[in-house]
Amino acid sequence: MRVVAFNGSPRKKGNTYHCIRIVLDVLAREGIETEFIQLGGSDIRPCRACYKCFEKKNGKCVQKDGFNLLMERMVAAEGIVIGSPTYFANVTPEVKALIDRAGLVAIANGHLLRRKVGAAVIAVRRAGGTHVYSSINYFFGINHMIVPGSSYWNLGVGLDPGDVLKDSEGVGTLRDLGENMAWVMEKLYG
């Protein structure tokens, strides 16, 4: 069993990174293989609505920017973690590009992400994080994915890199998320 995680923040070792790490560490402890991909700061382009993925039906996007490698990693995994900082109460542009393109390619090809386990992980300074959480969960929901809960919505609170580690409730929420994700994956794929 494998989980692939995407850090949608351009800050490579920022709060989103730390939030994702907490979840991945629990998953690894539970015997699940983990893979971490730095998405923020990459040159991933937005969906251009050409609908070529529906014409070609080859599991790929026609744009040539490395997205297809990310799609492959998603398809190969049983679990997907998408992490984003809160940017004006929404996901970062890189995360939006990933979910738009992966969502369209998956649906065009007979729901490639069906019954994979999905978790959104959010870093937020003060407000708007639940909207980011919702945006990512909409993606999971329309793709036949299974979403585990936690003891709160999956948010870590902090401004500067590493601040989220001082948010003990957030750290606990993310650990609980990792445990629930591992539990669901064991039931589905163990």
Ligand X SMILES: Cc1cc2nc3c(=O)[nH]c(=O)nc-3n(C[C@H](O)[C@H](O)[C@H](O)COP(=O)(O)O)c2cc1C
Query: Where does this chain bind ligand X (CB under 6 A)?
Result: 9, 11, 14-16, 85-89, 123-128, 158-159, 161
Name the helix (H) or strand (E) containing 174.
helix 168-189
What does the angle CA 116 – CA 88 – CA 45 come to, to the nearest 5 degrees?
55
Question: Which of 3, 159, 171 has its CA nearest to residue 85?
Answer: 159
CB 12 within 8 A of CB 38: yes
| In the complex, minimum distance from the CB of residue 47 to ligand X, in angstroms, rounded to a whole number | 21
| In the complex, minimum distance from the CB of residue 125 to ligand X, in angstroms, rounded to a whole number | 3
Report the residue number whose CB is nearest to ligand X: 14
Rank residues 16 and 135 by Cβ distance to ligand X and give the closer one.
16
The CA-based dihedral angle spanning residues 79, 84, 88, 89, taken in that order and rounded to the nearest 10 degrees = 30
Q: How far is CA 67 from CA 12, 33, 85, 127, in A?
A: 19, 22, 20, 30
Rank residues 68 and 90 by Cβ distance to ligand X and give the closer one.
90
Rank residues 104 and 157 by Cβ distance to ligand X and give the closer one.
157
| In the complex, minimum distance from the CB of residue 155 to ligand X, in angstroms, rounded to a whole number | 10
| In the complex, minimum distance from the CB of residue 5 to ligand X, in angstroms, rounded to a whole number | 13
Rank residues 74 and 123 by Cβ distance to ligand X and give the closer one.
123
Question: Which of 65, 62, 142 has its CA nearest to residue 106?
Answer: 142
Rank residues 15 and 109 by Cβ distance to ligand X and give the closer one.
15
| In the complex, minimum distance from the CB of residue 12 to ligand X, in angstroms, rounded to a whole number | 9
| In the complex, minimum distance from the CB of residue 130 to ligand X, in angstroms, rounded to a whole number | 11
Rank residues 21 and 101 by Cβ distance to ligand X and give the closer one.
21
Give the burial class of 31: count Cβ atoms within 10 A of its Cβ; 0-12 exposed, 13-18 middle, 19 or more buried. exposed
